[in-house]
A and B are shown apart, each in its own frame.
Chain A
Amino acid sequence: QVQLQQWGAGLLKPSETLSLTCAVSGGSFSGYFWIWIRQPPGKGLEWIGEITHSGSTRYTPSLKSRVTISIDTSKNQFSLNLSSVTAADTAVYYCARGDRYYGSGTNPPPSYMDVWDKGASVTVSS
């Protein structure tokens, strides 16, 4: 079955750029969209953004000025860059697969996140 595995630096200094990459294996890469989510220590989940197989992106408004999500279809990978990090960006970062439910008859179809990686801790500290 499909698996997601991410990697990247786990410790950053303020003002540096966070870079994470998520590789998809064991399943189709096309036909889905690919998502980044984060969870600060002891807090809830925050959707960061997503990218389609064709490269179309959407970002959460609060991070839009600092976030770039990209995709490499030749490697079945997608990446997150978050610039000018501060301590507030300390969190567990998850990558996930997004899919759509076409049985509802609504347009656009409802979407959901059905496969997640185990998450990676990123700490920002001087």
Chain B
Amino acid sequence: DIQLTQSPSSLSASVGDRVTITCRASQSISRYLNWYQQKAGKAPKLLIYAASNLQSGVPSRFSGSGSGTDFTLTISSLQPEDFATYYCQQSYSPRTFGQGTKVEIK
């Protein structure tokens, strides 16, 4: 299976901060990488698909980049509603998720 490693596992940030989360794949997955946001007690929500495509209805402060083995999710200006856990997920082979990155209030 392809392993996805997210870093950091957690971070503390303030409203207005620029936040970057990385996801590294154990082998090349081209651009077969998605990002999801999950708030406590809720189902995950798709943010970014195919590495850099913004899902309809998702604010433009979210962006994704990368290809091959290294990917990034960026929140340009953190808002109060963005405090959540973020997961990357690959669709190259049997699907797998990263372990998650929890974004907390500083």
Contact = CB atoms under 8 A, between A and B. Distances in A.
Contacts of A40: none
Given A104-B31, A104-B50, A106-B30, A116 B44 contact: yes
A86 B73 CA distance: 36
Contacts of A59: 94
Contact of B31 (A110, A114, A116, A117): A110
Contacts of A58: 94
Nearest to B95: A47
Interface stretch (B16-24, B75-83, B97-105): B97-105
B87 interface: yes
A87 interface: no
A47 B51 CA distance: 19
Contacts, number: 70
Interface string A33-60: 0000000000011110010000000111
B31 A106 contact: yes
A44 B97 contact: yes
Interface of B: 1, 30-34, 36, 38, 42-46, 49-51, 53, 55, 87, 89, 91, 94-100
Interface of A: 44-47, 50, 58-61, 94, 101, 103-104, 106, 110-114, 116-119
